[in-house]
Structure 1
Amino acid sequence: MVSPCKIGSPAGLTDGASGPETASDVPVVEASAPIPAEAEALVQDQTSASVLKPSPVTASASIPAPASTGALSADSQPRSVSPSAPASLPVPPSAPSSLSASKALLFSAACGLAVANIYYAQPLLDALASEFGVAPAAVGLVVTVTQICYALGLLLLVPLGDLLNRRRLIVVQMLLSAGALLIVGTAPSAPVLLAGLAAVGLLAVVTQVLVAYASTLASSAERGRVVGVVQSGIVIGILLARTFAGTLTDLAGWRSVYLISALLMFVTGAALYRILPDVHHTKTELSYPRLLRSVFALFIEERLLRIRAVLAFLIFTVFSTLWTALVLPLSAPPLSLSHTAVGAFGLAGAAGALAAARAGRLADRGLGQRTTGLALVLLLASWGFIGFTPHSLAAAVIGVILLDLAVQAVHVTNQSLIFTVRPEARSRLTAGYMIFYSLGSATGAIASTSLYAIGGWNGVCLFGAAVSGLALLFWAVTRGNGPE
């Protein structure tokens, strides 16, 4: 037994306080009964610890009953200290739960369906020109309007994922996309068709909101794998959209493509609403105008984003160079393939994209830089096979698989890495990154057709190989400026 005394609160029993406390900060526990031996030992242990300044234990101090009021000093507030009910401690934010394989596949399917909407028109240009009496040279405006509005959506809509509830934003965009597709499928005139396709392009950026949301739901250990699965859906949607649209048009007309897609978007949006968890991520406090400006500010502040955005520009220049011009040698002598056979090459590209889904797993294991380097070597090597396309379909298939594998592997790794930079700004990071994706796609499309007219297929292949080599060189020079 010891004499009655004043004792300080043991470390760890305060309500969320951290760091050393001064004597005036330590609450006083009042008691009138002698302290048991066990409590005395506890006091001695705590007062000898270096974490807190020890409160002096004096044998002469008297302790009034706890019911008394005004016993605490004016600058000290009473704190409840009880062995049976310790004060509450700050609860750290819980880590994202594991995203199940079925939900990841739902994300992937939704992304594929959404992005395919902006590519359906490419094999339908002749049918659209005939339907609305538009000159073949002018009907290309259909594709141009859709792509321009997609780029605007990347800048104007994707950053909203950092400001609004992502689950609701995704569902609303999916349902609005269904409405826009319905307008296209029932368009009575060319102006209505263009207006509907403009809305389709603007809303197709829901794919990038889905990618950012999936990365938020995934745990840090599996984020790369999840991004890889979701991105595979995007690439497959791009590659198979032409095959789907061409086949369905032959069976039921071009309008059926958009009407069926509208139904699929509505059903998928309803499924996302029912299945996706309503996770409340950390939202930005920026206003919408400042939010848009912050997209550009991120490029100034984050070196990793700048490096990976440049790589995105280069690899998608290569990707678009191949897929824009590939139809030209395949449909020309000596191959003279039909449109259905040309569309089947999308299956080869899809195989490469699926194989690249594992690139995200490698990024999760800290092998992002090595994966990027190996993929860029494959990208350069693929043109050695693609160059023989007019003489060998087997070489063309091998080249297409290698190129799509490489592009998708770098793309998945890029997004896995940039998502670690600013977790609270993933939608804006995605928007900024994908702007370079769009610029690269536009550059490749323009360059490939111009080069084919000047230098034929060899000119296209030399350009593709040169840009691939430039991407490899850029990675080698900058690899020491980012995480592995």
Structure 2
Amino acid sequence: MTICRHDQAEPPESPPAGQEPPGEAGGAPAPPRPRAGLSRGATLLFAVASGTAVANVYAAQPLLATLGQDFGLGEGVVGAVVTVTQAGYGLGLFLLVPLGDVLDRRRLVSAQSLLLAAALAVLGTAGAAPALFAAAAAVGFLAVVTQSLVAFAAALAGPERRGRVVGQVTSGVVVGILLARTVSGLLADAAGWRAVYLVSATATLLLALALRRALPPQTGARPGRPSYPALLRSTVMLFVEEPLLRARGMLALLVFAAFSTLWSCVALPLSAPPLSLSHTAIGAFGLAGAAGALAAAPAGRLHDRGHAGRTTGVALLLLTLSWLPLALTGESLWALAAGAILLDLAVQAVHVTSQSMIYTRRPDAGGRVIGGYMIFYSAGSALGALASTSLYAAAGWPAVCLLGAAFSLLASAVWAATRERPGRRP
């Protein structure tokens, strides 16, 4: 597998004063400059590696009932396995992903992948609840290699293809999230929940070796490289100074709170009577969600053509409507499948559009803007996981669906209040 020649770091592409970048305002993209980019095979490797890494954050979701039994955790507590993993992921986004703006990304990605494989091995052999939670947090912290790969792919792609490449890699991420449940369920039924993490550790190790061979080296010491504390401060300041980053960050928080409300909790009603589904059957619903995520792949191309705002609005409407069939899960598993497809299509469309927009706004700080944006994503995922499992224990599945619909409606309100319009600067 080869990656096309990329001889120098990408120069900043910030627009001149008074000129709008392409985005929700509908402005035409600037003429593309000739430059090297990613081959199709390399883009596929980025997508597979990103999806495999992030899948580890969600593999526990269909296993919650089993983990609760093995470690003596109640329904209201076992959801914290997902929450601590997301908390670790949020810390990694802030502390690790920005390093891609100043260090050799190939070395950074390789090191993170190797450490992630080690953390997965520890999680798969945990013998007590404290070890389980600590290893889960470490897995989340290191799984942010996913976002390092997204930023790397965006940096290597030409401006005229960036939305498409980000869309393809992000599709791998979302498909990895959703298929994590299917694979996790199959492995747990066949060989126990520990096999889920031990197999993943092996796959992560093999992908680390493949990435080391395929990724192009970058300059390890870049001129004017800031100190690590200054790098972290600049991540915060980017979101203070850029309204678009704040708006898209809030959308990420709410959209992924809705996403996590479904996928962190749905295993509980499906595994309980009268349905009493197996791990494999519960995980199979991830296939329906993956179909929805793949259907949203054109969102990146729509961004490249200046339709980011319209794409976001339609996707948020679908996200809200998805909770109608989801509320019928107890009466029809087909309704659950239809709702999952709608929800994941909507989430993927908003996510790809947002990542394409924020990278285009500040390509000189790709690792920081994507890492900072994904902190909102992680916070939303943790919020949805904890709130939905606690609410399910107290009030059941209908209350969980109302919670997801509320997150979706609030996201629509944020988009309506902050979206860019012709003639108005963001």
User: Fold match, TM over 0.5?
Assistant: yes
Deviations 1:390-435 (A, max 9, x none): 2222222111101100000000000000001111111110111111
Equivalent of 2:73 in 125, 136, 156? 136
Instruction: Establish whether residue 465 from structure 1 lines up as the match of residue 402 from structure 2.
Output: no
Instruction: Establish whether residue 203 from structure 1 lines up as the match of residue 146 from structure 2.
Output: no
Counterpart in the other structure of 1:452:
392
Deviations 1:248-274 (A, max 9, x none): 133233333222222211211111111
Aligned residue runs from structure 1 range 46-445, under 5 A: 96-125=35-64, 134-137=71-74, 142-187=81-126, 193-280=132-219, 285-445=225-385
Q: 1:235 to 1:377 in 2, by over 3 A?
A: same
Deviations 1:101-120 (A, max 9, x none): 21111111101111122223
Deviations 1:238-296 (A, max 9, x none): 22223222321332333332222222112111111111222449776221001111111
Q: 1:246 to 1:430 in 2, by over 3 A?
A: same
Q: Distance in 2 between matches of 1:193 and 1:386?
A: 31
**Does the 8 Å contact 2:62/2:282 carry over to 1?**
no
Point out the structure with the larger helix share: 2
1:334: how far off?
4.9
Deviations 1:186-207 (A, max 9, x none): 4566655554433322111100
Deviations 1:76-98 (A, max 9, x none): xxxxxxxxxxxxxxxxxx75423
Q: Distance in 1 between matches of 2:381 and 2:315?
A: 19
**Does the 8 Å contact 2:61/2:263 carry over to 1?**
no
Q: Distance in 2 between matches of 1:164 and 1:139?
A: 38
Q: Distance in 1 between matches of 2:131 and 2:273?
A: 39
Counterpart in the other structure of 2:16:
none
Q: 1:231 to 1:483 in 2, by over 3 A?
A: farther
**Does the 8 Å contact 1:375/1:406 carry over to 2?**
yes
Deviations 1:287-314 (A, max 9, x none): 1001111111111111110110011111
Q: 1:95 to 1:159 in 2, by over 3 A?
A: farther
- The SS at the match of 1:105 is helix
Q: Distance in 1 between matches of 2:94 and 2:283?
A: 31
- The SS at the match of 1:390 is coil
Q: 1:262 to 1:96 in 2, by over 3 A?
A: farther
Query: Unpaired runs of 5+ in structure 1?
Result: 1-93
Q: Distance in 1 between matches of 2:298 and 2:425?
A: 19
Aligned partner letter, 1:166? R
1:352: how far off?
0.6
**Does the 8 Å contact 2:185/2:282 carry over to 1?**
no
**Does the 8 Å contact 1:96/1:217 carry over to 2?**
no
**Does the 8 Å contact 2:189/2:278 carry over to 1?**
no
Aligned partner letter, 1:204? A
**Does the 8 Å contact 2:61/2:264 carry over to 1?**
no
**Does the 8 Å contact 1:155/1:431 carry over to 2?**
yes
Q: 1:440 to 1:283 in 2, by over 3 A?
A: farther
Q: Distance in 1 between matches of 2:276 and 2:236?
A: 47
Count of equivalent residues? 390
Structure with the bigger RCO (C-alpha within 8 Å, sep 6+) is 2
Q: Distance in 1 between matches of 2:277 and 2:375?
A: 34
Aligned partner letter, 2:188? T
What percent of counterpart residues are identical?
A: 60
TM-score by length of 2: 0.84
